[in-house]
Structure 1
């Protein structure tokens, strides 16, 4: 149960103007780039490939996250009272974030296999069906995990609509799942696939601008993934081990401030996904 009081919550709401402005910037930029990406998919007339299916799911995940950011902005300025809807918003945010992580990983694996085994890739069958199945598994798995650990974000454990009570830590089993399976495993796969793609392309004698552009985009996507998602997973661990003083409601704990900043950094990824993978798709025609 939260130890904070209504007055302390109200006072802290007044100090969240910066957070509201930060998420406003993410919303404006993210809305524009994801709307453009969705429009491109709607207007597409060429036959769909498995890559398009992965990218569409990525855009959907990012768009859903973007569409609910205005509620977080409203909460920063006016404070939404913690309730069941807040629990839904928190899980929706994390479902879409981790779907984005998983699909980004799937795209990296797909790209690596196509470049590493080009002849075999052309003979693969049911690629689109496989892509659809993979995406459905990702969505279903994350919804299931949220259902299992629903109590972690019960309204009674929320300090504000988007913030947990500092004296109620996440279930350590959930932290292990999020950090190991939700971040470290995808990170290792993306770094492996991206570095091998770059090495393979560098060995090709072709010095065209297309090859240089592709290497640049693959490198940029890998760096963006690391920069956007590393801080928040470090924050999960740091917050779990931080000691909470008795009068925590009157203080901004360093680890908690870091978590808020890390969450914002992670949310900016929805602005980069559509841009990066749109140009990457332009380089290949599989």
Structure 2
């Protein structure tokens, strides 16, 4: 039987960081809402001429925008404690489900763009590209929802310290950590890095010194760096927090690994602002470069 009495949240000195979390996520909500709402509006306005690229980008915008829409609950929780119920479990899974949906969709876009640059003639002749993109997006959501359902009890209310944090003396299941680190992060990371470096290499070999080519290479490089910067810290944090020993009086101590995880989670969330901007410019350039 889990002792839920140790999970009282707001009387501990370490929670002086909560107002900072509230401000940080508040700023993120404002920026993310504006950027992703503008991206969704642009996609919907052009729905009559959608391609497979638009399907992937729309799925990416949906994932990012959904994450952003639920951020106000986190801001509220930072200033006024939300009760620990299954609604908190829902909020946590919504946050991470959309984060990983964004990562996997980014990987799918990287593959699609690599194929378009590596095999431009063949890809133009492929049929049902839009339908394939739609199926890929459905598979991504189906896989993530299934994983959330299987491990739903890992974030049950009795295992939470606050609405958004687990009790540190109750670690996640090892297989869950394995899935989120290797399937959720490392696989998309390797895909993004491979496809991006190949695209950069192919474009550099083109006999073209135009500003457009240089700009495209710069955007591909920046997008890869942003992906690594945003998502690497939080997965290091998952591993560190799983394997380091937790002191018996963890409720009363500042645990550096835990504070690192909180900061890295905010950093990961900032990617919802970068996605729409970077991929808008990236994909518009790919069409023109691939056509040359």
How far apart are the structure 2 equivalents of 1:194 and 1:267?
Answer: 22
**Residue 201 of structure 2 aligns with which residue?**
199
**Residue 37 of structure 1 aligns with which residue?**
39
The answer to whether the aligner puts 1:256 opposite 2:258 as a matched pair is yes
How far 1:67 sits from its partner (Å)?
Answer: 0.4
Structure 1 residues 14, 81: closer, same or farther in 2, change over 3 A? farther
Q: Is the 8 A contact 1:13 1:79 kept in 2?
A: no
**Secondary structure of the structure 2 residue equivalent to 1:243:** coil
Matches within 5 A, 1:38-77: 38-44=40-46, 47-77=49-79
**Residue 244 of structure 1 aligns with which residue?**
246
Q: After superposition, give the CA deviation of every residue in 1:41-93 in whole Å (9 maximum; x if it has no partner).
A: 12226511000000000000000000000000000111111110000000011
**Residue 109 of structure 2 aligns with which residue?**
107
How far 1:205 sits from its partner (Å)?
Answer: 0.9
Matches within 5 A, 1:123-162: 123-162=125-164
Q: Is the 8 A contact 2:26 2:72 kept in 1?
A: yes
How far 1:284 sits from its partner (Å)?
Answer: 3.0
**Secondary structure of the structure 2 residue equivalent to 1:168:** coil
**Secondary structure of the structure 2 residue equivalent to 1:159:** strand
Structure 1: give runs of 5+ residues left out of the alignment: none
How far apart are the structure 2 equivalents of 1:192 and 1:14?
Answer: 42
- Alignment: residue pair count: 285
How far 1:9 sits from its partner (Å)?
Answer: 3.0
How far apart are the structure 2 equivalents of 1:160 and 1:220?
Answer: 36
**Residue 9 of structure 1 aligns with which residue?**
10
Q: Is the 8 A contact 2:7 2:167 kept in 1?
A: no
Q: After superposition, give the CA deviation of every residue in 1:150-186 in whole Å (9 maximum; x if it has no partner).
A: 1110100000000000001111101111111111111
How far apart are the structure 1 equivalents of 2:212 and 2:68?
Answer: 31
How far apart are the structure 1 equivalents of 2:47 and 2:17?
Answer: 49
How far apart are the structure 2 equivalents of 1:188 and 1:284?
Answer: 21
**Residue 220 of structure 2 aligns with which residue?**
218
Q: Paired residue for 2:122, among 120, 127, 140? A: 120
User: TM-score normalised to the size of structure 2?
Assistant: 0.95
Q: Is the 8 A contact 2:113 2:286 kept in 1?
A: no
How far apart are the structure 2 equivalents of 1:191 and 1:81?
Answer: 41
The answer to whether the aligner puts 1:269 opposite 2:267 as a matched pair is no
Q: Is the 8 A contact 1:13 1:78 kept in 2?
A: no
**Residue 78 of structure 1 aligns with which residue?**
80
How far apart are the structure 1 equivalents of 2:236 and 2:194?
Answer: 21
